[in-house]
Amino acid sequence: MTQAAFPDLRLRRTRRTGWSRAMVRETHLSPANLIWPLFVCDGAGAEEPIASLPGVSRWSADLLVERAKEAVVAGIPCLALFPYTQADRRSADGGEALNPDNLMCRATAAIKQALGDDIGILTDVALDPYTSHGQDGLIDGAGYVLNDETVEVLVGQALNQARAGADIIAPSDMMDGRVGAIRAALEAEGFGHVQIISYAAKYASAFYGPFRDAVGSRGLLKGDKKTYQMDPANSEEALREVAQDLAEGADSVMVKPGLPYLDIIRAVKDNFAVPVYAYQVSGEYAMIEAAAAAGAGDRDALVLETLLAFRRAGASGVLSYHALHAARLLGA
């Protein structure tokens, strides 16, 4: 890189005014870069605040339609849905995931009926919201999560969601081979238009605690998820995971969590040049809210700066519980 020397080169020149900073800005953030995760609960007219996620609630399907309308007005293109399954509907085999009248399917159908293609619906494919043991798949007698047997159920779950109107299937389970199996099943059933965003690099992270409260699995989880979610120490392995999922038919990939793994986002973007999404997970959201509540930082500034960091690292979009707030700030 050849550059002039000071004082011929003064890097502060272009920072002097707002219009000049705007002209040379390298990274841009807009509502179109945001996906809003929402939690579904039973009932009608129901809102259930989540204590460990201040400002976030579970919503019954009818009220989720109202949230979807707010998202459309704010310019958010897609919602990600996660169910809070009642304890009496949980089982060792996660059978409620295959119920065509489950919370996920009812909410998906309600939003699509109300708004059609005005907004996209991304549905989570994994068994942890449905199992009595809190694991993302079926387990054997020793508590080990079974890969191939789980994939069979995940295929049925994905088809169930596609029939309800899901636009994007997002396998978050981290089983080997599930993307290829789901892609083949979608094609065979006439859902070739349905996208797959694979949680390709999902780490066994300490940042998921509030999410487990939100879907009701924290107190149920037996053991940990280290035998299928990735070791936080590994980066090259993430590239192998991404390569496998793309080869099996994923349209785009996701890195989860977000800020602690910006290096992984950049590596995926540089190596594969495909759409890559980041999930700013529940623990990250909770830390921002705690910092703002303690007066340690300005909430709006913290939200926008962290979201911009994902974009700068190479993310095409970000799943964030701050999505609606951020979209409104960006549109102001």
Tell me the pLDDT tens digit for each residue of 145-180: 999 999 999 999 999 999 999 999 999 999 999 999
Q: How far is CA 71 from the centre of its chain?
A: 16
Residue 55 lies in a domain: yes
In terms of Cβ atoms closer than 10 Å to its own Cβ (0-12, 13-18, 19+), residue 199 is buried
Q: Rg of the chain over CA atoms, in angstroms?
A: 20
Residue 9 lies in a domain: no
Per-residue pLDDT averaged across 190-216, rounded? 94
**Contact assessment for residue 192 and residue 186, using Cβ atoms and an 8 Å cutoff:** yes
Residue 2 lies in a domain: no
d(CA 107, CA 102): 9
Residue 80 lies in a domain: yes
Instruction: List the structure tokens of 132.
Output: 């009595």
Instruction: List the structure tokens of 115.
Output: 């708004």
Peptide bond connecting 7 to the previous residue in cis, omega within 30 degrees of 0? yes
Residue 310 lies in a domain: no
Give the chain's mean pLDDT.
96
Residue 69 pLDDT greater than 90, yes or no? yes
Domain count, the chain: 1
Q: Which domain holds residue 63?
A: 30-253
Query: Cα 3–6–11 angle (5° rounding)?
Result: 70
Q: How far is CA 187 from the centre of its chain?
A: 24
Q: Which residues are annotated as a binding site for Mg(2+)?
A: 241
Residue labelled with tokens 């973007």: 269
In one letter, which amino acid is 167? D
Residue 56 pLDDT greater than 90, yes or no? yes
Residue 312 lies in a domain: no
pLDDT confidence of residue 332? 59
Residue 149 lies in a domain: yes
Residue 161 lies in a domain: yes
**Contact assessment for residue 21 and residue 12, using Cβ atoms and an 8 Å cutoff:** no
pLDDT in tens, 70-103: 999 999 999 999 999 999 999 999 999 999 999 9
pLDDT confidence of residue 2? 75
| pLDDT grade for 60, boundaries at 50, 70 and 90 | very high
Tell me the CATH number at 43. Answer: 3.20.20.70
Task: List active site positions.
Answer: 202, 256
